[in-house]
A and B are shown apart, each in its own frame.
Chain A
């Protein structure tokens, strides 16, 4: 058991080390998300009423699209140096590779959220710094990385993967996006845990299902 965790952590840590050195993925996610937010600030009228109404949607759409870009990067680098094959030759089962890469992606998305959400709060003039927001960000980041890692690994051999990944990823994570947007709406309107409970439950169920299924199914996709 500890062996398993050590292997997963070794893969994620390796991603972190590389990320700290060239800052590819986090810059991709954060830059893209901040850009979308900035464009919205002058594309729509952000009076207090409007901000509450459209803010959550804009925020999560920005994070979702940016997440896709980041996920693409995370796997593309692994393919360009064909290091994915080094992982495949290693005597570890495929689900550990999946969990390790997902953990890395989860950390990248979380980092991006830590930068993007305060900016969102400032630009849209909304109060989002509450524990509920931490929970929403966590479940969303877990779901994004669970689904995104699987799909990024799938589309990595396609030339047009920049197009293919969003096409696969966004429809599948729609429930998660709805959950994030709705819970954030409750949150900016001063809602309580109770009001967003059913959405958070849905998101957690989504996360658990996709982590389990993806880990089981991952062995089918990597070898050519």
Chain B
């Protein structure tokens, strides 16, 4: 377990196919602990699939994957206890209020002091006024925020975000940045995809560029290697 401190996610030759469609061809990747990693790539490059694999929603066909040094297939529940995810769909019950949705998540997460916890988390993402509203009546951006609140409620050491800025206004993006910064300062790991590449590169410690289910670039210093990343990203985009 010595590597637990340095490597959050380690992927070796990870493959995922859907019939004749290859989602991930052969992914080798090491994501260090305590930083923000952004996944870049055009649509269908495998970003979302990779996030779903990390969230254990998708089973890999072959290869090895360890999260915090734990083998994915064997220790599912203990990995998931330390993972929070806000993916593409908000994953909320439309006919329940925001509070009920969070309450439900808190009870399947077996968290203590649920009421205070829910209020505190709601405050962090700025939805404390909307707790009694039905989720169905909320805008897409607000639903995203509720989804984010659910993901960070149990303060997981690994946070997975799929395009978290989409649908958010400027102030909310700032709040998101604060949450992400808070994660980094607590030596927790954030893995996210983004379509606002400039903003992504500002907050990222590591950047990964994907194309056709392969990793084509991995940078540990996105600020200085910015142009290389932009080039790789542009070459991917040009092929679309």
**Which A residues fall within an 8 A CB radius of B?**
3, 6-7, 10-11, 14, 17-18, 21-22, 81-83, 85-93, 223-224
Contact = CB atoms under 8 A, between A and B. Distances in A.
Interface in B90-117: 90-96, 100, 104-105, 107-110
A209 B110 CA distance: 29
Contact of B96 (A11, A18, A90): A18
A89 B107 contact: no
B78 A89 contact: no
A6 B110 contact: yes
3 nearest CB pairs, A to B: A91-B81, A82-B89, A86-B91
B95 A10 contact: no
Contacts of B82: 91
A82 B92 CA distance: 8
B204 to A, nearest CB: 23
Nearest to B104: A14
Given A83-B93, A91-B77, 12 more contacts: A14-B93, A14-B104, A81-B90, A86-B150, A89-B85, A90-B109, A91-B78, A91-B79, A91-B80, A92-B77, A223-B56, A223-B57
20 contacts: A6-B107, A6-B110, A7-B107, A7-B110, A10-B104, A14-B93, A17-B100, A18-B95, A22-B95, A82-B89, A82-B90, A86-B92, A88-B56, A89-B56, A89-B80, A90-B108, A90-B109, A91-B77, A92-B108, A93-B77
Given A86-B150, A89-B80, A10 B108 contact: yes
Contact of A224 (B57, B104, B105, B109): B57
Contact of B94 (A81, A88, A223): A81
- Which of A81, A82, A89 has the largest number of chain B CB atoms within 10 A? A89
Contact of A17 (B57, B78, B96): B96
B63 interface: no
Contact of B93 (A18, A88, A93): A18
A28 to B, nearest CB: 16
Contact of B91 (A14, A18, A82, A93): A82
B109 A91 contact: yes
A136 B150 CA distance: 42
B210 interface: no
B96 A14 contact: yes
B152 to A, nearest CB: 13
Contacts of A90: 80, 105, 108-109
A13 to B, nearest CB: 8
A88 B78 contact: no
B182 interface: no
A85 B88 CA distance: 11
B207 interface: no
A142 B172 CA distance: 47
A93 B89 contact: no
Contacts of A87: 108
B58 interface: yes
A156 to B, nearest CB: 14
A90 to B, nearest CB: 5
B118 to A, nearest CB: 14
A91 B105 CA distance: 10
A18 B96 CA distance: 7
Contacts of A17: 96, 100
A18 B91 CA distance: 15
Interface in B6-64: 18, 55-59
A129 B34 CA distance: 65
